[in-house]
Amino acid sequence: MKTDTLAPRLQVVDLCLELSRRGYFSGTGGNLALRIDSQHFAVTPSATDYHTMTPDNVSVLRLSDLTQIQGDRAPSVESSLHARVLRARSDVGCSIHTHQPIASACALHGRSIPVPGGTMRAALGSNIPVVGYAPSGSGWLAAKFARKLRPHINAYLMFNHGALCCGTSIDDALLHVELLERLARQRLREQIAARAASTPRLRPALSRVLATLDA
């Protein structure tokens, strides 16, 4: 390929460190993709600690068939998931899959989250859908995800697993990760409060959970 890929590979390293710093990536959990041009994208390597990762470890793949062009490690097992997003949404420049704590807790519920109007809806879309469960890294998961993908919906829950957020740029995708976590926290707080109101004997335990959530 003609494009110099060092800059996007460095951006991937920086973004992983930022996601770790904010508590959305931990150890080797989570992965992301960054579009380089119309035919290529950079993706995090498989099973690599983000604190020791170098730009050489970041893979560059061909979007059409996932052929590895660069990178000294195997690409993330979720490369085909990210490729589905990048192929279906030409507006998307960056796709981030996390096991972010609160949104992942909501993903255990398996219920979609309506997004309140205003800034949050303008950024994330009207509703956060849930993609049904399939094993991590499987073509089955990527295919299920592709069926749920919609224009203007920039955050998705993956049942019993985690979340995926996308955006036009790195900053945009990172903002959507933050907003999804904030929305998920609100949603969980409402559900816990409703349960405490309907079940008095659970109130002390539920108020402790609420305190943890607000900490």
Given the rule CB under 5 A, which residues bind Zn ion? 162
Minimum CB–partner distance for residue 136 and Zn ion (Å): 5
- State the minimum distance, in angstroms, from the CB of residue 149 to Zn ion: 17
From the CB of 41, what's the least distance to Zn ion, in Å? 18
Among all residues, whose Cβ is closest to Zn ion? 162
Nearer to Zn ion, 45 or 162 (CB): 162
Is residue 113 within a helix (H) or strand (E), and if so which, with residue range? strand 113-114
At residue 127, φ and ψ (nearest 5 deg) are -155, 140
According to DSSP, the β-strands at 130-131 and 68-70 are: unpaired
Q: Which is nearer to Zn ion, 82 or 89 (CB)?
A: 82
> CB 161 → Zn ion: shortest distance, Å?
6
Nearest to 98 by CA among 182, 28, 152, 154: 28
Residue 195 Cβ, how far from Zn ion at the closest point, in Å? 28
By beta-carbon proximity to Zn ion, the closer residue of 5 and 25 is 25
CA distance linking residue 130 with residue 133, whole number of Å:
9
- Evaluate whether 31 touches 82 at the Cβ level (below 8 Å): yes
Give the residue with the Cβ less far from Zn ion, 162 or 167.
Answer: 162
Which residue lies nearer to Zn ion by CB, 55 or 162? 162
**CA 162 from centroid of its chain's CA atoms:** 7
In whole angstroms, give the CA distance from residue 145 to residue 81: 7
Roughly how many angstroms between the first and final C-alpha of the chain, as a whole number? 48
Report yes or no: 138 and 77 within 8 Å, Cβ to Cβ: no
Stated as kind and residue range, the H or E segment containing 135 is none
* Shortest spacing between CB 146 and Zn ion, in angstroms: 17
**Residue 120: enclosing H or E segment and its boundaries?**
helix 119-124
Nearer to Zn ion among residue 31 and residue 154 (C-beta): 31
